[in-house]
Amino acid sequence: MVTISLCMIVKNEEDILARCLDSVSDLMDEIIIVDTGSTDKTKEIAARYTGQLFDFTWVHDFAAARNYAFSKASCDYIYSADADEVLDEENRSRFQELKQVLTEDVEIVQMYYANQLEHGTIYNFDREYRPKLFKRTRSFVWIEPIHETVRLEPVVFDSEIEIRHLPKESHTSRDIQAFERMIAGGKVLSPRMHNLYAKELYVSGEKEDFLCAEAFFEESAVNTSYTLDQIKEASCVVARAARLRNDVHKFFKFAIKDVGSEGSSEICCELGQYYMDKKDYHEAAVWFYNAAFETPCILNIRCSSIIPLTALAECYEALGMKEKAEEYRQQAVESVKDESIAAKSVKEENTAG
């Protein structure tokens, strides 16, 4: 049976750390906890579970802290966890079974990350696969009987383990500030980070956040070396910022960049809000309808559900079409219900399987 090191980085997690460790500690052969500057009882709690407790000076870099934690591991595999994660009894059993049957040719095990929509994270799925278990050392091997080559892609196993993500608070402000620091420092964002910055803004950003990000995303939107996806998500951010500043010329310039391709729910919502602010409720309803029913969302799933549906109800209420308004109001309510039962439906699906 393989051995597993639990590696965590923590800071001021006294309210939830024990909950996490109680759910996983007995599944681990080694527990390594790296504290990045706690001022509460986090380290005292961590010391009840392990003697391998290390300090790491925070340098505004989660990757650096995680790499330090990984460097302390000595087991076959490393399980990376955050303090706001929990394994219930069903998934603890699945983890124990995995540990008994896992073969050492597997280099990464993915697990379902759940409860995303319930807690307002930037991810547009209630659960998704994430790499959580990593082979500590990798052996390079040759493959193919002729024209042989070294296998570069890792061997990945998709497990049925589901981790409940139960954050105690939103990290949006912290994350947006981190993006602002990276840009101010001249760091080039990868396509993934570019997408996550735009998502952070569209899910939880305030007016000031959009205005601060406007110049950066405007450069992205006109960068011909960028992918269409990057240009579209950048155009959404710039259009929102321009609308908030009442810069009509720039607003339509960047909205058209998106509509000129497939269009997105986000830009349709922006156009709908523009016309709603002008009290042109007929035109606003056209764009909100397109957001809800005709275009895909690219940054915030709610831009294709509760946001335009609620706005449609407001438009038809203003037009005196009360039955139509009530119809969309009910659809908005149902969309919220759909989100709230998503995790429950997934659990039932797993049980049935």
Nearest to 114 by CA among 161, 147, 80: 161
Nearest to 300 by CA among 329, 341, 260, 269: 269
Lowest-confidence segment of 42-46, 109-113, 240-244 by average pLDDT: 109-113
> In angstroms, rounded to a whole number, what is the distance separating the alpha carbons of residues 95 and 98?
5
Place of tokens 């109680």: 22
Single-letter residue type at 2: V
Mean pLDDT of 120-126: 51
Residue 221 has φ and ψ, to the nearest 5°, of -65, -20
Sign of CA dihedral 18, 124, 195, 307: negative
DSSP 109: E
> Does residue 340 sit in helix, strand or coil?
helix
Cβ contacts of 51-57, under 8 Å, gap ≥ 24: 56/9
Position 146 scores a pLDDT of 74
Position 125 scores a pLDDT of 53
More confident residue, 104 or 272: 272
> In angstroms, rounded to a whole number, what is the distance separating the alpha carbons of residues 336 and 130?
25
Residue 46 has φ and ψ, to the nearest 5°, of -60, -35
The answer to whether 119 and 166 have CB atoms below 8 angstroms apart is yes
pLDDT tens by residue, 146-200: 767 888 899 999 999 999 988 776 666 788 999 999 999 999 999 999 999 999 9
> In angstroms, rounded to a whole number, what is the distance separating the alpha carbons of residues 164 and 75?
25
Position 256 scores a pLDDT of 93
> In angstroms, rounded to a whole number, what is the distance separating the alpha carbons of residues 6 and 8?
7
pLDDT tens by residue, 329-341: 999 999 877 665 4
Domains of the chain: 4-165 (3.90.550.10), 172-342 (1.25.40.10)
pLDDT tens by residue, 53-68: 999 999 989 999 999 9
Helical spans, DSSP H, in the chain: 17-24, 42-46, 62-71, 89-101, 172-184, 191-204, 207-221, 228-244, 248-259, 265-277, 281-293, 306-318, 322-340, 342-352
pLDDT above 50 for 27: yes
Position 109 scores a pLDDT of 97
Mean pLDDT of 103-109: 94
Position 351 scores a pLDDT of 39
Position 326 scores a pLDDT of 97
The answer to whether 76 and 4 have CB atoms below 8 angstroms apart is yes
Position 344 scores a pLDDT of 43
pLDDT tens by residue, 234-260: 999 999 999 999 999 999 999 998 988
